[in-house]
């Protein structure tokens, strides 16, 4: 199945989309990656969805990527007397270390790591920033804070601390159990929440090994301070604008999004733009014009993928949301200004042979109006290097590694296929001619640019470029 676009769509699966029939509808509508959100659902629920996706993959004979999204630490207030309290600007309230029910004079905050790290002047945001407080005075087990923006604080509402790095692992006991389960199932990517520093990724990589690719969710301002190291240690990045937008000013989010997309493209790592992209389609069959513009902006910026959350997981119109997102991407990529905007950001050419060959392949394909670029890869890295250049030509990635084929489904512009092992140069040329035509990516007479590494099967050896005529 051919997509008439380069950017990919990530669809979150939930109650509205978990049946085999609905998964097929979402795939046909344009979903390339299915996200399993482990903040919700049981292991049995996720096992059933995973099996249904793999059954669908076998049916359509196209690799489908599965992304496991770990919940991460959740910082919340405890139980409030009578269920909620109302606080007004100018009031002083006290947070106490403990789990016992309390009120304004003793709001329970059962997180000792906060009391160890927070400083006077730091902000406390409750319920996605609806209530804002500033720390005035500290005691060993008490935080006295002034209410800056008043509102209601109710039981177990989330707490954000944009100014305070916490000595807290991004992997809770629940996450570790979920991760072990996901790796046993065979997920393709693992998304790590609450990333604050490069060491968080090193910790996760130690548990994951080479069983899945590691995706870092950028949702903490602390991560932005070491973002280049975080990107280099990750296999992919998600711009999690919802949580990030709580902890940094709303007006800063668009600029940060552009910076993150640019950095990922420079380094050659896929990047997903996520959260509230078509949010009104949770309850309506069409989006707002502003939402359509939001999706288009991410595409103009060069994002590898855009993501649907509640729209496809629990909304009333999951298939329509995927269809609409696909239409917006297609229309944006055919806009007259798209190619000039996408090429305005040109990655610096790395001096290594693999990067130079990949860049040359993209330039050559455009110069001769090739129908297709074929890349043979064992790890997917050659394909990632190639699409850094954002060629206006379909890229077909062949790999003998089934999981790599699935992981490449996230890469901008790449259609991936699981292939047999290629052992010789002549076999590669013949395989290209047969498979490109059989899969209807090229027709007799078309020119195809082929990128490979010789000797075959060794990661990081991209060193060969050839033009083949079908």
- For 282, the 3-state DSSP assignment is helix
Active-site residue identified among 22, 24, 74, 76: 76
CA geometry: angle 157, 162, 165, nearest 5 deg: 105
List CB contacts of 154: < 8 A, sequence separation 6 or more: 80, 83, 84, 85, 127
Kind plus residue range of the DSSP H or E element containing 121: none
CB 457 within 8 A of CB 400: yes
Catalytic residue among 35, 220, 265, 433: 35
Helix (H, G, I), strand (E, B) or coil at 77: coil
Q: Which two tokens stand for residue 85?
A: 């309290």
**Cis peptide bond upstream of 455, omega within 30:** yes
Rounded Cα distance, 116 and 268, in Å:
38
Cα–Cα dist 337/436, whole Å: 30
Question: From the candidates 220, 241, 269, 275, which is the catalytic residue?
Answer: 275
- In residues, how long is the chain? 470
- Containing 86, the helix (H) or strand (E) segment is strand 84-87
Q: Which residue is listed with tokens 């903490």? A: 220
Measured CA to CA, the distance from residue 304 to residue 114 in angstroms comes to 36
DSSP letter at 66 equals E
Is 358 in contact with 349 (CB distance < 8 Å)?
no
Helix axes 253-267, 289-301, angle to 10 degrees: 30
β-pairing verdict for 151-154 and 84-87: antiparallel
Which of 8, 62, 132, 217 is labelled catalytic? 217
Q: Is 76 a catalytic residue?
A: yes
Q: Is 327 a catalytic residue?
A: no
Residues 462, 40: Cα–Cα separation, whole Å: 41
The reply to whether 275 belongs to the active site is yes
Rg (CA), the chain: 24
Report the side by side order of strands in the sheet with 159-160: 107-108, 92-96, 142-149, 131-139, 123-126, 159-160
The residues near 8 (Cβ < 8 Å, ≥ 6 apart) are 32, 33, 304, 305, 306, 409, 410, 411, 412
Question: What are the φ and ψ backbone dihedral angles of 286, each rounded to 5 degrees?
Answer: -135, 155
Q: CA 371 to CA 204: how far, in whole Å?
A: 40
Query: What are the residue numbers of the active site?
Result: 35, 76, 217, 275
């Amino acid at each position: 199945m051919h997509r008439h676009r380069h950017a990919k769509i990530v669809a979150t699966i939930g109650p509205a989309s978990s049946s085999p029939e609905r998964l097929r509808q979402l795939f046909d509508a344009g979903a390339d990656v299915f996200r399993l959100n482990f903040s919700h659902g049981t292991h049995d629920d996720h096992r059933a969805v995973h099996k249904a996706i793999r059954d669908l993959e076998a049916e359509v004979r196209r690799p489908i990527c599965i992304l496991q999204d770990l919940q991460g630490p959740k910082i919340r207030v405890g139980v409030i007397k009578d269920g909620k309290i109302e606080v007004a600007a100018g009031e002083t309230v006290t947070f106490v270390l403990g789990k016992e029910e309390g009120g304004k004079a003793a709001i329970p905050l059962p997180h000792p790591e906060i009391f160890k790290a927070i400083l006077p002047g730091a902000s406390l945001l409750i319920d996605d920033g609806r209530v804002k407080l500033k720390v005035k005075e500290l005691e060993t087990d008490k935080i006295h804070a002034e209410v800056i923006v008043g509102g209601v604080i109710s039981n177990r509402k989330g707490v954000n601390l944009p100014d305070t790095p916490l000595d807290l692992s991004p992997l809770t006991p629940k996450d570790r159990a979920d991760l072990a389960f996901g790796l046993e199932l065979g997920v393709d990517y693992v998304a790590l929440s609450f990333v604050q520093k490069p060491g968080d990724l090193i910790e996760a990589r130690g548990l994951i090994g080479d069983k899945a690719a590691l995706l870092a969710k950028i949702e903490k301002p602390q991560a932005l301070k070491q973002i280049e190291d975080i990107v280099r240690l990750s296999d992919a990045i998600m711009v999690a604008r919802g949580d990030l937008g709580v902890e940094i000013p709303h007006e800063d989010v668009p600029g940060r999004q552009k910076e993150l997309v640019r950095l990922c493209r420079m380094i050659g790592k896929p990047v997903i733009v996520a959260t509230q992209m078509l949010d009104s389609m949770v309850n309506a069959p069409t989006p707002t014009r502003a939402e359509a513009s939001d999706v288009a902006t991410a595409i103009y910026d060069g994002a590898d993928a855009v993501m649907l959350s509640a729209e496809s997981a629990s909304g009333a119109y999951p298939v329509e949301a995927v269809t609409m997102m696909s239409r917006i991407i297609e229309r944006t990529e055919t806009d007259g200004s798209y190619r000039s905007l996408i090429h305005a950001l040109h990655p610096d050419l790395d001096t290594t042979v693999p990067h130079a060959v990949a860049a040359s392949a993209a330039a050559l394909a455009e110069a001769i109006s090739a129908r297709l670029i074929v890349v043979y890869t064992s790890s997917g890295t050659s394909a990632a290097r190639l699409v850094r250049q954002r060629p206006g030509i379909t890229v077909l990635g062949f790999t003998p590694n089934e999981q790599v084929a699935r992981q490449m489904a996230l890469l901008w512009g790449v259609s991936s296929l699981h292939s047999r092992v290629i052992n010789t140069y002549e076999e590669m040329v013949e395989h290209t001619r047969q498979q490109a035509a059989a899969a209807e990516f090229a027709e007799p007479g078309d020119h195809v640019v082929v990128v490979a590494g010789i000797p075959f099967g060794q990661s990081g050896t991209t060193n060969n470029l050839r033009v083949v005529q079908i």
